[in-house]
Amino acid sequence: MTKIEVRYAFTAPLDDALLEAIDRARGTYGLSMLRLSPAMDELIVHYDASRLKLPDVDSALKRAGLPILRKELPG
């Protein structure tokens, strides 16, 4: 099992509907953790790279209704 962390910026304000979408995404196979950043402006996702590829993670989060944009790693 290879755990990977990726961060997503929200493209809409945080509200109840967004929190419900995060809850829906938590049930996605291969996603091991979803949490808000301390500033509550990013979603931090841990996923199992042996089960999902990064585009699969992007798609699963968008299917759950999350208005997000993946943040690229520096470097």
Per-residue model confidence (pLDDT) at position 55:
96
CA nearest to 57, candidates 43, 41, 45, 65? 45
> Which pLDDT value is given to residue 72?
82
Residue 12 domain boundaries:
3-70
User: Residue 39 maps to which CATH number?
Assistant: 3.30.70.100
Tell me if the pTM is above 0.85.
yes
Asked if the structure places residue 75 within a domain, the reply is no
52 within a domain of the structure (yes/no) = yes
Work out how many domains the chain is built from and give that number: 1
For the segment 8-59, what is each residue's pLDDT rounded down to a tens digit? 999 999 999 999 999 999 999 999 999 999 999 999 999 999 999 999 999 9
Spell 40-57 as b/e; 16+ CB within 10 A means b. Answer: eebbebebeeeebeeeeb
pLDDT at 1: 75
Q: Where are the extended beta strands (E) located within 11-48?
A: 31-36, 42-48
